[in-house]
Amino acid sequence: MDNTLIADAFEEMAELLELQGENPFRVRAYRNGAKAIRELDESIAEIVADGLRDLKDVPGIGQTLADKAKALVETGKLPQLEKLRSETPPILHRLTRIPGMGVKKALVLHRELGINSLDELRKACEEHRVRDLKGFGAKTEASILAGLSIAEAASQRLRIDQVERLEHRLREHLSKLPAIKRLEFAGSYRRGKDTIGDLDMLVISDDPNSVMDRLASFGGLVSITARGDTKMSIRVDDQFQVDLRVVPAESFGAALQYFTGSKEHNVAVRSLARKQGLTLNEYGVAKLETPDVYIAGASEEDVYGALGLNWIAPELREGRKEISWATQAGGAFPQIVEQSHITCDLHMHTHASDGLFSIEEMAMAARARGLKFIAITDHSQRVSMARGLNPQRVLMQWEEIDRINAQATDGFRILKGIECDILESGPMDLPDEVLAQADWVLGSVHYGQKQPREQITQRVLGALANPHVDAIAHPTGRLLGQRPPYDIDLGAVIDSAVQHGKALELNANPMRLDLSELHLIAAAGASVPITINTDAHSIDGMDVMRYGIIQARRAGLLREQVLNTWSLERLLKWTQRSP
């Protein structure tokens, strides 16, 4: 069991303990422990295996958490966690997904109004029964009603990072069964969608019953909703659906292609097959006159090859350009951006504002990840709750960056940057004479997100027109499952970015993934450069870059369209500054 899964277990413990009204200090201990493990640069499992070391020597881990981490490493289970899951009504999780709904209010709704579903809560709000509860009122009731749609969507779909953690747990659980010869995950998760409604698993095995028995013993299982000879469906954790199919080896590639989708992609591929006198289904490729004699199916490469296509990356399978790309003369497939192309990260924070580490520590971690340069972009002064930097502190930080760069011997470069707020009234949060000294300036909206469409759009257009602003960070402000995008005219923003030669950010944090893939397609189609950034507030935060890459690939972004694939010299030339 890796550090991420242990940290996830501790975070879930904290949430469940809080929902049960447990001592806040105990709740905080689990949260602090999860944070410490997530930021640890070595494996908890390796520390446990080392007889000369003790887990409680890790900062943030006491004896109790050390014992539980050891149990997770050695058994893959935590009895206390399973007990808490069984004792906590699932509705409490869903209630706390409503924006502004804390644990205390969720408990009051459940206990005093007997709320056991989001539908019951909607009805209670519409009947004005919520406003009569102590600590609520008409305004809170209206806010809950407005936020219910977000909570309802969150209960039906999970973010890609949440499903990724579930996938790791399922893979670890099932991989211990010798009868499983191969296991792959399909569906929208394999295609890299930002949110996912269910998870598909495909398995090669000669013993389907043992595979399904093994799945039935999964620790997060809530219920088995269907079981047949080779198919099984279960609900896990917060009622999320997982579907299992056991398929023969000779059909595995065809099944993987079929169940990966999308529907639009599969329709296009089947249409192409028919034009060639072929038929394609989940069992393989065959000639129309002999549909039961398959000529390909064991691998996806064989399936696509039988149709005269190059293999198509799952992220591209949305029925857009992928078929034409895969049939280009000479087999030349456009160079879609990949993780290996990334040279830099242009949005990250240090402990000067709301980050956890120093400039040197973030730079060292970036070097370790193979990056050539980074931009330090702490918050500006308007974000006071994050200890945003005023002009004096900004200039002091940039002097420190100059000193660090002067001492570097490996060519690694730190850019002097800032995430500068676009004020509610329109102007930038820092004066132009300060911004003019930066290497890289991100404009961002953190306040006034409920302003009218025209007003918030004009704020962003004003920032794009500022000669010192290079890009707009997380341009729509969305938080998946928590906050919808603010009402902004993205078409006008894209047009302005073209006019002023500016970039738009794809924030790689899986809670944001902002811009969306459709907005990315529109921006790239207008030749607006995209910068994929992690917005890291810690060393581990840099690892979310992969989610941004997945999102960019889904939009079909080419390597050249992404600023983060450029050299330092090219980037600084683009910003019209000298290296």
CATH number, domain containing residue 379: 3.20.20.140
Write down the pLDDT at residue 1. Answer: 62
* Residues above pLDDT 70, as percent of the chain: 98
Lowest mean per-residue pLDDT among 189-193, 331-335, 376-380, 471-475 = 331-335
Write down the pLDDT at residue 238. Answer: 66
What average pLDDT score do residues 217-240 get?
A: 88
Lowest mean per-residue pLDDT among 17-26, 170-179, 346-355 = 17-26
Residue 172 pLDDT greater than 90, yes or no: yes
Lowest mean per-residue pLDDT among 119-133, 326-340, 464-478, 550-564 = 326-340
* Host H or E run for residue 519: helix 517-525
What average pLDDT score do residues 29-51 get?
A: 84
Whether residue 122 is contained in a domain is answered as: yes
Write down the pLDDT at residue 2. Answer: 73
- The predicted-structure confidence for 192-202, as pLDDT tens digits, reads as follows 999 999 999 99
Q: Could you tell me the CA-to-CA distances from 349 to 374, 387, 419, 563 in Å, in that order?
A: 11, 11, 9, 19
| Residue from 160, 166, 571 nearest 373 by CA | 571
The reply to whether 270 and 417 lie within a common domain is: no
What is the chain's percent helix, strand, coil content, to nearest 5? 50, 15, 35
Q: What CATH code is carried by the domain that includes residue 116? A: 1.10.150.20
What average pLDDT score do residues 270-294 get?
A: 95
Counting Cβ atoms within 10 Å, is residue 334 exposed (0-12), middle (13-18) or buried (19+)?
middle
CA distance 525 to 519: 10
The reply to whether 145 and 197 lie within a common domain is: no
Of 219, 246, 273, the domain-final residue: 246
Write down the pLDDT at residue 179. Answer: 97
CA distance 300 to 283: 12
Greater confidence, 545 or 2?
Answer: 545
The reply to whether 506 and 435 lie within a common domain is: yes
Greater confidence, 417 or 119?
Answer: 417
Residue 528's CB is within 10 A of a number of other CB atoms, namely 22
* End-to-end Cα spacing for the chain: 45
Write down the pLDDT at residue 490. Answer: 95
Whether residue 166 is contained in a domain is answered as: yes
Greater confidence, 579 or 77?
Answer: 77
Residue 578 pLDDT greater than 60, yes or no: no
Lowest mean per-residue pLDDT among 361-375, 481-495, 559-573 = 481-495
Write down the pLDDT at residue 342. Answer: 98
CA distance 300 to 316: 14
Strand order through the sheet with 413-421: 344-345, 373-376, 413-421, 440-444, 471-472, 503-507, 530-533
- Verify cis geometry, omega within 30 degrees of 0, for the bond prior to 262: yes
Residue 330 pLDDT greater than 70, yes or no: no
The reply to whether 429 and 548 lie within a common domain is: yes
Of 300, 331, 362, the domain-final residue: 331
Take residue 237 and report the two structure tokens written for it.
Answer: 């954790």
Write down the pLDDT at residue 576. Answer: 85
Q: Could you tell me the CA-to-CA distances from 308 to 269, 274, 277, 334, 512 in Å, in that order?
A: 11, 13, 13, 17, 38
DSSP state letter for 348: B
For residue 310, the SS3 value is coil
Under 8 Å between Cβ of 21 and 30: no
For residue 511, the SS3 value is coil
What average pLDDT score do residues 278-306 get?
A: 95
Of 72, 87, 102, the domain-final residue: 87
The reply to whether 401 and 478 lie within a common domain is: yes
- Counting Cα atoms < 13 Å in the Cβ hemisphere of 475 gives 31
CA distance 442 to 421: 8
Write down the pLDDT at residue 329. Answer: 56
Count the domains in the chain. 5
Task: Using pLDDT thresholds of 50, 70 and 90, give the confidence band for residue 15.
Answer: confident
Write down the pLDDT at residue 116. Answer: 87
pTM, two decimals, is 0.80
Write down the pLDDT at residue 579. Answer: 47
Whether residue 579 is contained in a domain is answered as: no
| Residue from 343, 508, 339 nearest 413 by CA | 343
Under 8 Å between Cβ of 377 and 347: yes
The reply to whether 236 and 365 lie within a common domain is: no
Average pLDDT taken over every residue of the chain: 92
- The predicted-structure confidence for 354-375, as pLDDT tens digits, reads as follows 998 999 999 999 999 999 999 9
Q: What CATH code is carried by the domain that includes residue 192? A: 3.30.460.10
Greater confidence, 329 or 150?
Answer: 150
Take residue 334 and report the two structure tokens written for it.
Answer: 């456009």
CA distance 39 to 32: 11
Enclosing domain of residue 317: 251-331
Residue 351 pLDDT greater than 80, yes or no: yes
Write down the pLDDT at residue 457. Answer: 97
Whether residue 509 is contained in a domain is answered as: yes
Residue 467 pLDDT greater than 90, yes or no: yes
User: DSSP assignment of 85-139, as one string?
Assistant: HHHS-HHHHHHTTSTT--HHHHHHHHHHS---SHHHHHHHHHTT-STTSTT--HH
Q: What CATH code is carried by the domain that includes residue 13? A: 1.10.150.110
Write down the pLDDT at residue 162. Answer: 92
- The predicted-structure confidence for 498-542, as pLDDT tens digits, reads as follows 999 999 999 999 999 999 999 999 999 999 999 999 999 999 999
Whether residue 27 is contained in a domain is answered as: yes
